[in-house]
């Protein structure tokens, strides 16, 4: 092939009397065939199998443009005396050949995976800089980062409208953030340790067991071998928030270690809606991260990582200070959190066999008060599993066995025996699973899996799944999946309203595990034209729940009553993502989700269909980016739209039962000098703020419930203090500026 390019270039040169420019295109250091190299509309070529190209050029040509499907476009300035160039392309946010692990628990090319997995790298999240994973995930279509309390700003991650307790969040494939830790744990994960995030929508209990009913968010940390020697990202906002990420790599060829330090601080009391309460909780958080990687023979894996998080946060009446902690004169919610996380993996040294041991442990200690209601909790979660990968002709088999042990002790009735004495909760969930990925031919792949978990109270719980991938053509892929999920309840993570100090927890019956069935269809289409490459990604999904655990707010304003739903709950809808990459440096990522989520229950032989609280019917996300090669400036416009949704209102509540639709926009400018970037912009560009999120803020301890005093809307007679009406962030327009740099 190469000699054809040489002859063609020589012929053109002899005819037009022009010089020749040549070079090679690489992708992550490897030759890239089929890349489009252009000097002008009439002078362009594709690279050969070894990545080489040749083009005739004249002195009028100033730039060389390179574009390839799945990679970020690159532009190189032509030097008058240089005729040989090497261009190294970087993967785009939606690269075709990215490796994913979440769908099958083993590395596989995204395009080859029979399970639909979305992947987002750190560059994608930098389009709208955030200070933690919780905020960053709001950029992903179909994911809603939902604040559930306006005082202490606890949050949950919802996938396709399902409550946050149904989302399993993994770190490097390990169930680190779950149960008690999920309430405040998301905001303690700094972006500095993240290499990429994989999202799988739909239940995955056949591989991951309990909690993976709505889907999985797998946060994959940076590899010590590939991380920069030194990197930093320092950011501040006009609200007074400041975030510092520092990391450095040490070691030699066989042993590498990565250290990361993150500090987030927000110490500014702000009350823009004048309700007497802080708009955002004040926070002081530090996170220390360390990961070790060991190089072994035969590329066997060995790594271990640890992270420690300490956080002090409070929100409440603006005059609150620590001297009021736990009292009933000034309302405040104060939480001290200590978290320790360990995780690792080790390939057993067994010749010709791929057997891996994976393990994790986390401790979560919480000392908190919600008004004058204390919550003291300690939780230990240990997890270990053994995986055996075995290939037999066209079958790629995975066998596994695991144990998850959860120990929880707190001062609520959850950990009390029949006599009211303290009795820590101990839950063991051993499980066995098998998976077979059968490559029928180059068009069809079939994946089947079955998991059996054993719970002491509920017996054996089976979780099957089946997935099919049909490669219609090189540019068209169809996938279908059917699976089952389950979840064992943890009341504290169900709904933060249970422990705000405003309501009492009531468990009306013995709660059985939730169960769900899900079917999803997925279509992926690549459209490649001369000016633009388009990736379309559409999904249809239907999830049916039984035994769904429903919090009842309406029976008693001062209680949250938990019981299993007698009936069913359904979450179904459509999702569409579009990624557009032009040959000039413009990219767009657009997403929209339609969601129909409801529950059916039977009361007095009458069926009722009710919408799910805080679940919008429509949502959308977008990110538009343009980059000027000279002077190395880029602009990013990002945002999301959320339609109206049912809110947890009280009887005679003056607040609307349906929240208004709203949209949040962000704008960012970035200037690059080599590996240094200066970025600045504005979040919540149009200064959107929700109205009256807290009921009775002037009487948070309900001392004057029967007296109608002050503002009737803020203090209606007969209603109790309630801070859980939340549909949008309480932060208005705020400017930010940041600096990041790295040294290889």
DSSP string, 561-579: EEEE-SEEEEEEEEEEEEE
Report which of 103, 298, 278 is spatially closest to residue 203, judged by C-alpha positions. Answer: 103
One-character DSSP codes across 2-63 = HHHHHHHHHHHHHHHT-EEEEEEEEETTEE-TT-EEESSSSSEEE--TTSEEEEEE-TT--E
Lowest average pLDDT, out of 574-578, 598-602, 738-742, goes to 598-602
Q: Is the pLDDT of residue 173 over 60?
A: yes
Between these two residues, 372 and 164, which has the higher pLDDT value?
372
Average pLDDT value over all residues in the chain? 82
Between these two residues, 205 and 537, which has the higher pLDDT value?
537
Strands 19-27 and 84-89: parallel
Q: What is the predicted pLDDT for the residue at 489?
A: 63
Q: Which residues contact 77 (CB under 8 A, 6 or more apart)?
A: 62, 63, 64, 629, 630
22-to-9, 29, 42, 50, 291 alpha-carbon distances in Å:
9, 18, 16, 13, 42
Q: What is the predicted pLDDT for the residue at 694?
A: 83
Other CB atoms within 10 Å distance of the CB of residue 438: 16
Other CB atoms within 10 Å distance of the CB of residue 554: 11
CA distance 517 to 503: 32
Peptide bond into 631 cis (omega under 30): yes
Query: Is residue 523 very low, low, confident or very high in pLDDT (cuts 50, 70, 90)?
Result: very high
Q: Is the dihedral of CA 132, 136, 142, 145 positive or negative?
A: positive
Q: Is the pLDDT of residue 495 over 60?
A: no
Burial class (CB in 10 A: 0-12, 13-18, 19+), 80: exposed
Other CB atoms within 10 Å distance of the CB of residue 348: 12
One-character DSSP codes across 141-163 = TTEEEEE--TTT--EEEEETTB-
Between these two residues, 125 and 664, which has the higher pLDDT value?
664
Q: What is the predicted pLDDT for the residue at 730?
A: 84
Query: Is residue 15 very low, low, confident or very high in pLDDT (cuts 50, 70, 90)?
Result: very low
Q: How many CA atoms, within 13 angstroms, populate the side-chain half-sphere of residue 470?
A: 8
Q: What percent of the chain has pLDDT over 70?
A: 84
Q: Is the pLDDT of residue 17 over 50?
A: no
Q: Which residues contact 659 (CB under 8 A, 6 or more apart)?
A: 644, 645, 647, 690, 727, 728
221-to-109, 218, 543, 558 alpha-carbon distances in Å:
19, 10, 30, 42
Between these two residues, 385 and 163, which has the higher pLDDT value?
385
Query: Quick one: tokens of 11?
Result: 């012929």
Between these two residues, 235 and 149, which has the higher pLDDT value?
235
Report which of 136, 216, 142 is spatially closest to residue 173, judged by C-alpha positions. Answer: 216
Mean pLDDT across 447-466: 87
Q: Is the pLDDT of residue 366 over 80?
A: yes
CA distance 720 to 696: 7
Q: Which residues contact 225 (CB under 8 A, 6 or more apart)?
A: 256, 293
Other CB atoms within 10 Å distance of the CB of residue 510: 8
Are 259 and 222 in contact, with CB atoms under 8 Å apart?
Answer: no
The position carrying tokens 């970025």 is 679
Query: Quick one: tokens of 651?
Result: 């009887």
CA distance 263 to 284: 8
Pure H helices in 278-363: none
| pLDDT per position as a tens digit, 333-358 | 999 999 999 999 999 988 788 899 99
Lowest average pLDDT, out of 143-152, 249-258, 548-557, goes to 548-557
Query: Is residue 677 very low, low, confident or very high in pLDDT (cuts 50, 70, 90)?
Result: very high
Q: Is the pLDDT of residue 436 over 60?
A: yes
Mean pLDDT across 181-190: 69
Q: Which residues pair with 701 in a beta bridge?
A: none
Between these two residues, 394 and 533, which has the higher pLDDT value?
394
| pLDDT per position as a tens digit, 595-638 | 998 888 777 777 888 888 888 999 999 999 998 877 889 999 99
Tell the CATH topology of 99-220: Ferric Hydroxamate Uptake Protein; Chain A, domain 1 (2.170.130)
Query: Rounded to the nearest 5°, which phi and psi values hold at 127?
Result: -65, -25
Are 127 and 481 in contact, with CB atoms under 8 Å apart?
Answer: no
Q: What is the predicted pLDDT for the residue at 146?
A: 81
Query: Rounded to the nearest 5°, which phi and psi values hold at 414?
Result: -65, -35
CA distance 79 to 33: 25
Are 404 and 210 in contact, with CB atoms under 8 Å apart?
Answer: yes
Report which of 389, 387, 390 is spatially closest to residue 401, judged by C-alpha positions. Answer: 387
CA distance 637 to 645: 26
Superfamily of domain 257-743: TonB-dependent receptor, beta-barrel domain (2.40.170.20)
- Domain borders along the chain are 2-89, 99-220, 257-743
Other CB atoms within 10 Å distance of the CB of residue 367: 15
Mean pLDDT across 355-375: 90
The CA-to-CA distance between both ends of the chain, in Å, stands at: 36
Q: Which residues pair with 657 in a beta bridge?
A: none
Which three-class secondary structure string do you get for 527-592? EECCCEEEEEEEEEEEEEEECCEEEECCCCCCEEEEEECCEEEEEEEEEEEEEEEECCCEEEEEEE
CATH 3.40.50.2300 fits 2-89, yes or no: no
Query: Is residue 305 very low, low, confident or very high in pLDDT (cuts 50, 70, 90)?
Result: very high
Q: What percent of the chain has pLDDT over 90?
A: 32
Are 41 and 65 in contact, with CB atoms under 8 Å apart?
Answer: no
Report which of 615, 606, 605, 604 is spatially closest to residue 570, judged by C-alpha positions. Answer: 615
- Max CA-CA distance within the chain? 98
Q: Is the pLDDT of residue 706 over 70?
A: no
Are 296 and 347 in contact, with CB atoms under 8 Å apart?
Answer: yes
Mean pLDDT across 396-407: 91
């Amino acid at each position: 092939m190469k000699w054809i390019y040489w002859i063609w270039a020589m012929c053109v040169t002899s005819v037009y009397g022009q010089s020749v420019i040549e070079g090679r295109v690489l992708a992550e250091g490897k030759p890239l065939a089929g890349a489009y190299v252009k000097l002008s509309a009439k002078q362009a070529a594709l690279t050969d199998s070894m990545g080489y190209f040749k083009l005739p050029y004249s002195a009028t040509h100033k730039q060389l443009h390179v574009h390839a499907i799945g990679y970020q476009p690159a532009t190189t300035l032509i030097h008058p005396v240089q005729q040989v160039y090497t261009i190294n392309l970087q993967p785009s946010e939606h690269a075709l050949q990215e490796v994913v692990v979440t769908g099958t628990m083993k590395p596989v090319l995204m395009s080859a995976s029979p399970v639909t997995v979305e992947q987002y790298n750190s560059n994608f999240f930098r389009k709208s800089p955030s200070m933690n994973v919780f905020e960053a995930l709001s950029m992903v279509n179909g994911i809603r980062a939902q604040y559930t309390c306006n005082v202490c700003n606890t949050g949950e991650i919802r996938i396709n409208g399902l409550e946050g307790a149904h989302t399993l969040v993994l770190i490097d494939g390990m169930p680190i953030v779950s149960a008690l830790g999920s309430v405040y744990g998301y905001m303690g994960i700094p972006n500095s340790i993240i290499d990429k995030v994989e999202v799988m929508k739909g239940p995955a209990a056949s591989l991951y067991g309990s909690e993976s009913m709505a889907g999985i968010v797998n946060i994959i940390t940076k590899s010590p071998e590939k991380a920069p020697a030194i990197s930093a990202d320092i950011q501040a906002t006009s609200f007074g928030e400041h975030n510092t990420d520092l990391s450095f790599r040490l070691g030699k060829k066989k042993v590498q270690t990565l250290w990361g330090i993150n500090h987030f601080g927000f110490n500014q009391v702000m009350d823009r809606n004048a309700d007497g309460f802080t708009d955002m909780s004040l926070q002081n958080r530090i996170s220390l991260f360390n990961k070790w990687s060991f190089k072994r023979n035969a590329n066997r894996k060995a790594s271990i990582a640890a992270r420690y998080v300490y956080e002090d946060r409070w929100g409440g009446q603006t005059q609150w200070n620590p001297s009021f902690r736990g009292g009933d004169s000034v309302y405040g919610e104060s939480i001290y959190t200590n978290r320790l996380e360990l995780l690792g993996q080790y390939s057993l040294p067994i010749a010709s066999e791929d057997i891996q041991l994976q393990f994790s442990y986390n401790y979560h200690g919480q000392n908190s008060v919600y008004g004058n209601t204390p919550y003291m909790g300690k939780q230990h979660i240990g997890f270990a599993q053994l995986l055996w990968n075995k290939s037999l002709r066209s079958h790629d088999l995975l066998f596994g066995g695991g144990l998850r042990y959860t120990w929880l002790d707190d001062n609520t009735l959850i950990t009390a025996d029949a006599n009211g004495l303290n009795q820590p909760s101990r839950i063991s969930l051993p499980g066995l699973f098998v998976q077979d990925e059968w490559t029928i031919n180059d068009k069809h792949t079939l994946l089947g899996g079955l998991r059996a978990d054993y719970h002491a109270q509920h017996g054996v719980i089976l979780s099957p799944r089946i997935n099919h991938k049909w490669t219609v053509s090189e540019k068209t892929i169809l996938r279908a999946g059917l699976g089952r999920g389950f979840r064992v309840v943890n009341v504290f993570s169900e709904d933060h309203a249970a422990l705000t100090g405003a309501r009492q927890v009531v468990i009306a019956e013995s709660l059985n595990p939730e169960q769900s069935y899900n079917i999803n269809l997925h279509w992926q289409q690549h459209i490649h034209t001369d000016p633009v490459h388009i990736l379309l990604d559409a999904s249809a999904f239907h999830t049916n729940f039984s035994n769904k655990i429903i919090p009842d707010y309406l029976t008693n304003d001062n209680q949250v009553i938990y019981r299993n739903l007698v009936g069913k709950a359904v979450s179904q809808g459509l999702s569409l993502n579009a990624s557009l990459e032009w040959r000039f440096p413009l990219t767009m990522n657009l997403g929209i989700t339609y969601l129909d989520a409801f529950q059916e229950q039977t009361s007095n032989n009458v069926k009722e269909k009710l919408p799910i609280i805080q679940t919008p019917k429509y949502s959308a996300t977008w990110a538009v980016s343009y980059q000027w090669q000279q002077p190395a400036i880029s602009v990013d416009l990002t945002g999301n739209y959320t339609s109206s949704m049912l809110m947890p209102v009280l009887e005679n509540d003056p607040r609307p039962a349906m929240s208004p639709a709203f949209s949040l926009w962000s704008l960012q400018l970035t200037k690059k000098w080599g590996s240094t970037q200066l970025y600045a912009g504005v979040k919540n560009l149009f200064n959107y703020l929700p109205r009256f999120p807290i009921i009775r803020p002037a009487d948070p301890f309900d001392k004057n419930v029967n007296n109608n005093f002050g503002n009737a809307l803020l203090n209606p007679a007969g209603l109790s203090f309630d801070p859980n009406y939340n549909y949008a962030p309480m932060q208005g327009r705020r400017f930010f500026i940041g600096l990041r740099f790295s040294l290889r």
